[in-house]
């Protein structure tokens, strides 16, 4: 009994050390710049100490616990930090982006929880830990996702008068029947079929790019930018989102679960239409370079004197996780 206890204790301690190393490893790899790292740290501070803290938003303890299981798992936080990057590029303090950044992460996390369900992608691993439905059951996972979805709009509804309405509409469009949800439907319908590049681009624009583009448009709205600049921001965001997804398609083939924190080669095994399956790795890399050129041209239209967005584009070409 004593030997069994000691061996179990060593295993538990090792898992805790591995988990802490994974948390550090994940964030250190994803440092696009010192400023990006600073924004990431600020976002984590809001998430850990403000969102459900004394001055934040209250909720049923059990519900909050389920939401936090997925929200607090080690991950890239690419979308919320991208919003803060855009906001600072427009001359605004990152504090003005707190609610919008948290809302975007809530929407993204809810989508991952629901994606992993047996009726969708049926995945066991997410952000380096068991998927929420594997840990706590399908019903709890569905409800936690629902809670995160609605929390996002509660957060944006607290924005200043005159901004809350347009920002809520912008996020709803990106997440809903003409954005992410539409992309999920198209993705399911195309599974197992011989689609072409046009079909794939429509899926990527809706499923992934819409929720990355909103990181640009919400920042522009919060910074009181004119509609013509918001439109340029939206177009740049779509290109960045397409780049993100194409690189994801490539990594699903060439990377490993340790780096990605999720199952690999799942898309090809399920017969999903991806850039890698349609164009091959070399073709996907060429397509990624073409998207990068278009994004660079769009970024030049904005004429920022100081911004990390150029580094973001460079990172999306090379990232390995």
pLDDT in tens, 86-104: 999 999 999 999 999 999 9
Helical (H) or strand (E) element with 129: strand 129-130
Phi-psi region of 307 (alpha: psi -120 to 50; beta: other; left: phi over 0): beta
Q: Per the domain annotation, does 39 fall within a domain?
A: yes
Confidence of residue 30 (pLDDT cuts 50, 70, 90): low
- Phi and psi at residue 125, in whole multiples of 5°? -130, 135
Q: Per the domain annotation, does 197 fall within a domain?
A: yes
Q: Per the domain annotation, does 219 fall within a domain?
A: yes
Q: Per the domain annotation, does 2 fall within a domain?
A: no
| Mean pLDDT, range 265-285, rounded to an integer | 81
Confidence of residue 256 (pLDDT cuts 50, 70, 90): low
Residue 255's pLDDT is what?
A: 67
Indicate if the pLDDT at residue 285 is higher than 50.
yes
Q: Per the domain annotation, does 154 fall within a domain?
A: yes
The CATH number for 203's domain is 1.10.600.10
More confident residue, 265 or 149: 149
Q: Which of 39-43, 271-275, 308-312, 314-318 has the lowest mean pLDDT?
A: 271-275
Measured at the CA of 227, the angle between CA 223 and CA 232, to 5 degrees, comes to: 90
| Average pLDDT taken over every residue of the chain | 86
Residue 24's pLDDT is what?
A: 37
Torsion of CA 76, 81, 82, 83, to 10 degrees: 140
What is the residue range of 222's domain? Answer: 29-318
Q: Per the domain annotation, does 49 fall within a domain?
A: yes
Q: Per the domain annotation, does 45 fall within a domain?
A: yes
Confidence of residue 74 (pLDDT cuts 50, 70, 90): confident
**pLDDT tens by residue, 207-252:** 999 999 999 999 999 999 999 999 999 999 999 999 999 999 999 8
Phi-psi region of 118 (alpha: psi -120 to 50; beta: other; left: phi over 0): alpha
Confidence of residue 305 (pLDDT cuts 50, 70, 90): low
Q: Per the domain annotation, does 9 fall within a domain?
A: no
Strand duo 129-130 + 125-126: pairing: antiparallel
Domain count, the chain: 1
Determine contact, residues 218/193, Cβ cutoff 8 Å.
no
């Amino acid at each position: 009994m004593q030997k069994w206890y000691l061996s179990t204790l060593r295993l538990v301690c090792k898992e805790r050390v591995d988990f802490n190393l994974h948390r550090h490893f994940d964030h250190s790899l994803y440092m696009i710049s010192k400023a990006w790292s600073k924004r990431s740290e600020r976002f984590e501070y809001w998430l850990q100490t403000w969102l459900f803290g004394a001055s934040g938003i209250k909720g049923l303890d059990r519900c909050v616990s389920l939401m936090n299981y997925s929200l607090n798992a080690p991950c890239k936080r690419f979308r919320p930090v991208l919003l803060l990057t855009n906001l600072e590029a427009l001359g605004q303090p990152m504090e003005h982006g707190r609610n919008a950044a948290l809302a975007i992460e809530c929407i993204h996390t809810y989508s991952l929880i629901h994606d992993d369900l047996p009726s969708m992608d049926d995945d066991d691993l997410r952000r380096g830990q068991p998927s929420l439905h594997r840990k706590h059951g399908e019903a709890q996972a569905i409800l936690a996702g629902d809670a995160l979805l609605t929390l996002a709009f509660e957060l944006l509804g607290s924005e200043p008068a005159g901004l809350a309405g347009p920002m809520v509409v912008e996020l709803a469009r990106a997440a809903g029947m003409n954005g992410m949800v539409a992309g999920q439907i198209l993705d399911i319908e195309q599974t197992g079929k011989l689609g072409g590049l046009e079909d794939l681009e429509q899926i990527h624009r809706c499923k992934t790019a819409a929720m990355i583009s909103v990181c640009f448009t919400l920042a522009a709205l919060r910074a009181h930018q004119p509609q013509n600049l918001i439109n340029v921001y939206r177009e740049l965001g779509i290109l960045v989102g397409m780049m993100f997804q194409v690189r994801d398609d490539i990594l699903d083939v060439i990377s490993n679960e340790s780096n990605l924190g999720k199952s690999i080669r799942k898309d090809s095994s399920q017969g999903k239409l991806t850039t890698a399956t349609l164009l091959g790795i070399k073709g996907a890399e060429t397509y990624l370079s073409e998207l990068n050129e278009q994004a660079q041209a769009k970024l030049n239209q904005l004429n920022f004197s100081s911004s990390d967005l150029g580094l973001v584009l460079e990172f999306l070409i090379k990232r390995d996780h």
